[in-house]
Chains A and B, each alone.
Chain A
């Protein structure tokens, strides 16, 4: 917003709990927190010059994504026809650094309070005939007091803004944790493919970071996650390789059923089946790079209220299996910025519900179906039961054969 021309005479304050992060050169080690950035999000970041900084630091574009089942041969491959990049794997620190640089560029309009924490919020009363200020008052831990016409809550899935505004949140803890790590591959390769395999305990994904390094995101039960974290590095690497390569979970029944379906498809649509490739094997893991965090899903019943808007994980939280969490957040930003810019150009009060509701409707329409789909996928793939495995095997094979559906998913 600081870069938007209609905001030239507005003042924006950014409260950041973490320290300032700016890098001119990335350290040799990759960070274990990465995000899959969609082309749409990349466009948003380039609109205000942040993407250039990301490119000058480091990122890894990927061209293909192979997703397959541990319980059957079914798989689906996504790739863009024109061999364009499907997305980018970028370390979170890189994005933070790029954003910090661009914030510096508009420092006269945007003031960033690093290491700050809000301890109290005072909400305006809706009736306008009172003598107290109609704006939102915020008190910081260090005693600073701020007042604003619009408060944007971007404080993650445990959003304090959301709780203080008493917006109800539909949430559900998955009994899964995600294990992340930075892995070194056995041999250097082009490494422009993202791999994800659905194990009964949860999906395991390998995201490329460079020709020799990939990032691991393995969602599994809490107990297994703890085991993975505490076992020695060799065993850890072995678990990963076997998770990707072993066919222990196949059953003859499913395999036959799957094979039948596949031949049926190849009769109807010769190009509809593809060859399953095997992901690269892992040689070692970066020491100290293993970490875990619990997973859950959440969706706020309202994204906006008078003078308040929620974006990103504060509004919705999803399972990482689709790599969409941060992209949904970027989508929220793009939409809110668009509506606020138009409102500013109309001279409107920025905290007015009128345009905030337009943002809410637009994003809820877009987000709810995706969030539900991700949740359904998670549940569908969390089981070994034959009927469901069959269902998802056929479903996956069918989807792989039908370009229109694949395009819609992308």
Chain B
């Protein structure tokens, strides 16, 4: 609690952090609801059905040795804004060593407690209550993968966030982002319908002004040493409670970017064909 207060004071004085304290307050109230699959976070639970295969298949495609029995073994992942650990756990089950960070201590506490019942997960996941900047110094170039799912729309300074990601990521490491586009459609569906009408997202969770269009995200990534490999649109069906891939990125989308190699050059790839192969392997993975 003391640390949290110091952080807030720190925010007022230096005002240079990617963590937005207003955002933190919104999540504080729901910290214990993370693991209720039918509760407030049910849409995030079902998002695992597409974002886990997306990450898994992108990484399997890039590596030479595929071992389907333990696809992500040996991979070090940083889950930024891990919340209750909804995404950290499946990634760890697939073999990865996951470090999950979240500025809200209640979230980390919930995540810690949930993983403690499973001896395998307990070993593979570490949770820390902190912001991204705070771990930069001790974690320069330590991670193979960073996932920032449903996070960048809550961040105060996006450019600094991406910069920090770049610092803790190994060269040629992957960054996976899922977030919401800033369009009229996303306002109508993402805020009016989702929050106020149907209530699949707790009201006030999202602020349309902070939504990030994929073009801007791509621009920021490329100017910070990343090369964007894939952008896929996502669609949520509130009737079935499930997510699916969509051509258009006008509402939700997922992005995969790779940090350029040590020479500062990443291999030129055909973005379109990468997207195709990632979409296809995402479908094939679930048919196995």
Contacts and interface: CB of A to CB of B under 8 A. Distances in A.
A345 B68 contact: yes
Nearest to A4: B69
Contacts of A149: 118
A133 B117 contact: yes
A5 B48 contact: no
A336 to B, nearest CB: 15
Given A9-B69, A9-B70, A345-B288, A354 B37 contact: yes
B89 interface: yes
Given A128-B36, A341-B288, A354-B37, A349 B53 contact: no
A358 to B, nearest CB: 11
Contacts of A6: 68-69, 288
Interface stretch (B16-24, B90-98, B126-134, B167-175): B90-98
A353 interface: yes
Contacts of B286: 342, 345-346
A8 B94 CA distance: 11
B53 A346 contact: yes
Interface residues of A, number: 23
B46 interface: yes
B68 A347 contact: no
Contact of B68 (A5, A129, A135, A354): A5
Most buried by B among A134, A341, A345: A345
Which of under 10, 10 to 19, 20 to 34, or 35 or more describes the interface residues of B? 20 to 34
A347 B90 contact: yes
Interface in A338-397: 341-342, 344-349, 352-354
Contacts of B91: 347
A277 interface: no
Contacts of A347: 48, 52, 56, 89-94
A104 to B, nearest CB: 20
Nearest to B241: A354
Interface string B102-114: 0000000000001
B89 to A, nearest CB: 7
A128 B114 contact: yes
A346 B52 contact: yes
Nearest to B39: A128
Interface in A204-257: none
Contacts of A348: 48, 52, 90, 93
B117 A135 contact: yes
A127 interface: yes
Interface in B69-106: 69-71, 89-95
B8 interface: no
A342 B114 CA distance: 23
A344 B90 CA distance: 9
B89 A349 contact: yes
A348 B90 CA distance: 5
Nearest to A128: B35
Most buried by A among B32, B53, B89, B288: B288
B271 interface: no
Contacts of A346: 48-49, 52-53, 56, 90, 285-286
Contacts of B92: 347
A352 B118 CA distance: 14
A345 B288 CA distance: 8
B69 A127 contact: no
B31 to A, nearest CB: 10
Nearest to B53: A346
Contacts of A344: 93
Interface in A78-136: 127-129, 133-135
Contacts of B69: 5-9
Contacts of B45: 354
A354 B52 contact: no
A359 to B, nearest CB: 15
A354 B241 CA distance: 11
Interface in B112-155: 114, 117-118, 120
Nearest to A353: B37
18 contacts: A6-B68, A128-B35, A135-B117, A342-B286, A345-B68, A345-B71, A345-B288, A346-B52, A346-B53, A346-B285, A346-B286, A347-B90, A347-B94, A348-B93, A349-B93, A352-B37, A353-B37, A354-B46
Interface of A: 5-9, 127-129, 133-135, 149, 341-342, 344-349, 352-354
Given A134-B117, A345-B286, A346-B48, 8 more contacts: A7-B69, A129-B35, A342-B286, A345-B285, A345-B288, A346-B90, A347-B90, A348-B48
Q: 9 closest pairs, A vs B, by CB?
A: A347-B90, A8-B69, A128-B35, A347-B93, A347-B94, A5-B68, A5-B69, A346-B52, A347-B52
Interface of B: 32, 35-37, 45-46, 48-49, 52-53, 56, 68-71, 89-95, 114, 117-118, 120, 285-288
